[in-house]
Amino acid sequence: MGTNFPTSAEIERAAAIIRAGGLVAFPTETVYGLGANALNAAAVERVYAAKQRPLTSPLIVHAASIDMAQTVAADWPASASALAAHFWPGPLTLVLRKEPIVPDLVTAGLPTVGVRMPAHPVALQLIRSAGVPIAAPSANRFTELSPTDAHHVRSALGDKVDLVLDAGPTQVGIESTVLSLAGGEPILLRAGMVSVSQIEQLIGRVAKIPDPIAGPHIAPGLHHKHYSPVTRLVISDVLPAGKGAYLWWNKEVPTEISVRMPDDPALYARDLYAVLHRLDAIGLQYIAVEPVPATDRWDGIRDRLRRASAAG
């Protein structure tokens, strides 16, 4: 199908699969998601099995409207209204106290649920056609590189998915920012391309938490090693020995495979996983990455690279 969007008939077929308890991989603006009916525990269990994902890592629920998002949230504070009005549809997930209709399996047994409205016409049409919110982590094996096109999904999950909706490459390229509004103060749980400074302009100070050490994670993407290519990834402008590649945005270091990345964080994020997928298929001994700037516009990228380079 290439970069052509799925037809309405294909999306309706996918929606029927969701309603019947099946799994559909579909594009969002961030990465491709592996979707199931968020209100069907048996279907959600299939998501965990397909990804080999631990039950301690919660899933994000995708809604087609603010009204639908509110059906899974027990509380909807004024800050949620302000953020949703400004950033939705878009790559911001809000963590709120959950309604009982959301199975505990979706939320790793926690009393909170992460919800967002994706900014992709195929995702929105799928959710509307299914008529239910869709729980969807990235459509890949747990801790591995997230998929930014349908080929990545098929390579990672094969026949574990009932249908893949192919709409070409994603545009944001890394997973959503995750913000908790479930307590007394807003807390950033995962950095993304909606920055803390953008959020603070709307709702005031946002706190940050260290990574959890044990027990259920309060947001997806908090495993110490995540978003990882098979090839060893190092963040350094000093190259290891052996055959490798170097991703740089500011200063090139001579090496066999040199990949110049954009110096704009939005464009860098869009390209990052696709570049890593391509290099991972070559059989290199390492992929080295020039450190990125220590500013909040780069926080999401820096987080992904840090986890991708962590020891297993």
Predicted local confidence at residue 4, as pLDDT? 78
Residues 134 and 201 in one domain: yes
Mean pLDDT, the chain, rounded, equals 93
Quick check: is 245 in a domain? yes
Residues 33 and 130 in one domain: yes
Which residue, 3, 18, 45, is CA-closest to 128? 18
Residues 175 and 57 in one domain: yes
Quick check: is 228 in a domain? no
Sheet holding 244-248, edge to edge: 233-235, 286-289, 244-248, 257-260
Of the residues 208, 242, 266, which one is the last residue of a structural domain? 208
Domain with residue 15: its CATH number is 3.90.870.10
Quick check: is 167 in a domain? yes
Quick check: is 216 in a domain? no
Residues 18 and 54 in one domain: yes
Q: What is the b/e burial string over 11-47, where b = at least 16 CB atoms within 10 angstroms of the residue's CB?
A: bebbbebbeebbbbbbbbbbbbbbbbbbbbeebbebb
Quick check: is 221 in a domain? no
- Alpha helices for 133-195 (secondary structure H): 150-157
Residues 16 and 72 in one domain: yes
Residues 110 and 71 in one domain: yes
Residues 28 and 66 in one domain: yes
Helix axes 299-308, 265-280, angle to 10 degrees: 20
Residues 107 and 37 in one domain: yes
Residues 108 and 67 in one domain: yes
Predicted local confidence at residue 220, as pLDDT? 56
Is the pTM higher than 0.85?
yes
pLDDT single digits (tens) 76-115: 999 999 999 999 999 999 999 999 999 999 999 999 999 9
Contacts with 241 (C-beta within 8 Å, 6 or more apart), sequence order: none
Kindly give the pairing relationship between strand 177-180 and strand 92-97. Answer: parallel
pLDDT single digits (tens) 155-204: 999 889 999 999 999 999 999 999 999 988 999 999 999 999 999 999 99
Query: 78 burial class (0-12, 13-18, 19+ CB within 10 angstroms)?
Result: exposed
Domain extent for 299: 233-308
Q: What percent of the chain has pLDDT over 70?
A: 93
Residues 200 and 280 in one domain: no
Q: How far is CA 201 from the centre of its chain?
A: 24
Predicted local confidence at residue 215, as pLDDT? 55
Residues 168 and 237 in one domain: no
pLDDT single digits (tens) 202-239: 999 999 876 655 555 565 545 545 578 999 999 999 99
Looking at this protein, which amino acid is placed at residue 270? Answer: R
Euclidean distance between the first and the last CA atom of the chain, given in angstroms as a whole number: 36
Residues 94 and 134 in one domain: yes
pLDDT-derived band at 2 (thresholds 50, 70, 90) equals: very low
Quick check: is 225 in a domain? no
Structural domain count, the chain: 2
Of the residues 145, 173, 208, which one is the last residue of a structural domain? 208
Quick check: is 151 in a domain? yes
Instruction: Report whether pLDDT(10) > 50.
Output: yes
Quick check: is 218 in a domain? no
